[in-house]
Structure 1
């Protein structure tokens, strides 16, 4: 089984190491010092006191790789349209793309059924580039739960978590998802296959669309946002708007909003990924996490005043800091 990790940063590196342990033929797409170190010394994965080393093909030229059975895309959502052609060119005739980015996936309405079947989301796929170039029929959904970091070039540290939930957009069982799940489990990961992958996407997005932008605007950690009455109420209002949209689209939420907020508070003094990107001067995942929900609100005919307000402030913050 040939698997390419397109975007071998922290999460991508962790996946690559696990799939290497499973005996897959793994290749990595990386860049900069991380790329050069992996080429020279291999990839090292730190899990507590345990360290493993992995000699993997690593390149910044995807065109040099053989056709792949799976391409797992672990880039930030806004980076993907620019490399959609390279991703498509990597795929074997029956190859699949595994979308492991945060936020709503570009294929969201493929296989969903109903009157919105085939609707495209401009916020996450401007101009339909990914839809047209890669093709939604090649997509496998993936919700990423682990937290990892690049400790230094070529070295990935697992902070917590080992679950990557998988699912077909249509919800139907398939041999391609089962085979990938089996490989991931052999590598020590949890990889459940869910018939309603959109519900898992929304549970993670529920927090990301609220806590991430609030943290970027206030520079506060999850714990602080949840314990402050004002910001907690803003997050709760955004989440309730999002829940109304998702339920209108047929999604069921297994927990209520206050339990979801309590779960975020329990994480403690954690900086969201958006706040980390802001502090490092990197572009933030604004549209995939927040703009996409606003767009779905328009599609569903549901107002999003709290989301609209926070999104406007966040976009201006990014613009003034030149990190949009």
Structure 2
């Protein structure tokens, strides 16, 4: 099984190293000092109190790798449209594209049913570039729950979790998704096949759409945001707005709002990815996590006043950060 991790940072590197150790033919597309270190010394994975080393073919040029069975896209979601052309050499006739990105994926309305079936979302796939360049028929959904960090170039520390739910857009248990699930589970990654992966996508997005921008605006960690009465109430209202939209599209939430907030709070003094990006001077994932909720709400005539307000604030915060850079 040939597997390419496109964007082999912390999470992509963790899952790829585990699959390589389990016998998959894994390659990484990465860049900078992290790439150089992995090319020289392999991928060092710090997990469960031990160091594991995986030898992986690492490159910055996908043309060196050729067609793959599976291409995992583990970039920041807003970066994906810009690499559609670069990924083309990895795509053969049967290659599956596994969307390990935050937020709503480009293929969301593929085989969705209803009036919006086959539609694209401008906030996550401007001009339908991914839809045309990858093709929705290649897509397998994957939700990333674990946390990991690059401790040093070529060194990835696993922080917690190993759950990566998978699913076909049409909910089927195809041979390709079953094979991928089996490989990942052999690599000590929990990869259950879901018959409605959109439920999992929304469950994660439900927290990201509020906790991420609120943390970037306040610099609060998850424990503070979920325990402070004002930010907890704001998070709750944003989640209620999003829940109404998602349910219009047939999504089922297996936990209620309070339990979802409490679950985030239990993570503790954790900085969200958006706050980490802001502090590091990197672009923030605003459109895939929040603008898309506004866009989907407008598609079905569902008002999102709190999401709109926070979206306006975080966009201004992003603009000010860019001006100060």
Q: 1:205 maps to which residue? A: 205
Q: 2:152 maps to which residue? A: 152
Q: 1:45 maps to which residue? A: 45
Matches of 1:6 and 1:220 in 2, distance apart?
31
Matches of 1:134 and 1:265 in 2, distance apart?
37
Matches of 1:13 and 1:164 in 2, distance apart?
14
Offset at residue 113 of structure 1 (A): 1.0
Give the ranges of 4+ consecutive aligned residues of structure 1 lying more than 3 Å apart after TM superposition.
none
Offset at residue 284 of structure 1 (A): 0.5
Deviations 1:89-120 (A, max 9, x none): 31121010000000000110001111110110
Q: 1:164 maps to which residue? A: 164
Contact 1:110–1:136 (CA under 8 A) maintained in structure 2: yes
What's the RMSD between the two structures over aligned residues? 1.0
Q: 2:191 maps to which residue? A: 191
Q: 2:322 maps to which residue? A: 322
Q: 1:83 maps to which residue? A: 83
Matched pairs, number: 324
SS of the counterpart of 2:270? Answer: coil
Q: 2:33 maps to which residue? A: 33
Matches of 1:88 and 1:116 in 2, distance apart?
27
Q: 1:181 maps to which residue? A: 181
Contact 1:85–1:134 (CA under 8 A) maintained in structure 2: no
Aligned pairs for 1:1-324 within 5 A: 1-322=1-322
Matches of 1:264 and 1:28 in 2, distance apart?
31
Matches of 1:277 and 1:180 in 2, distance apart?
31
Contact 1:5–1:71 (CA under 8 A) maintained in structure 2: yes
Deviations 1:12-38 (A, max 9, x none): 100111110221110000000000001
Offset at residue 235 of structure 1 (A): 0.5
Contact 2:274–2:285 (CA under 8 A) maintained in structure 1: yes
Matches of 1:276 and 1:82 in 2, distance apart?
22
Matches of 1:48 and 1:280 in 2, distance apart?
28
Matches of 1:237 and 1:103 in 2, distance apart?
19
Contact 1:21–1:186 (CA under 8 A) maintained in structure 2: no
Unaligned runs of 5+ in 2: none
SS of the counterpart of 1:294? Answer: helix
Matches of 1:90 and 1:265 in 2, distance apart?
40
Deviations 1:27-54 (A, max 9, x none): 0000000000011111100003111111
Matches of 1:204 and 1:159 in 2, distance apart?
18
Q: Which moved more, 1:301-310 or 1:82-91?
A: 82-91
Unaligned runs of 5+ in 1: none
Contact 2:66–2:89 (CA under 8 A) maintained in structure 1: no
Deviations 1:263-311 (A, max 9, x none): 1111111111110111111111000000011100001110000000000
TM-score (norm: length of structure 2): 0.98
Matches of 2:297 and 2:87 in 1, distance apart?
30
Matches of 2:148 and 2:101 in 1, distance apart?
14
Contact 2:236–2:257 (CA under 8 A) maintained in structure 1: yes
Matches of 1:15 and 1:50 in 2, distance apart?
16
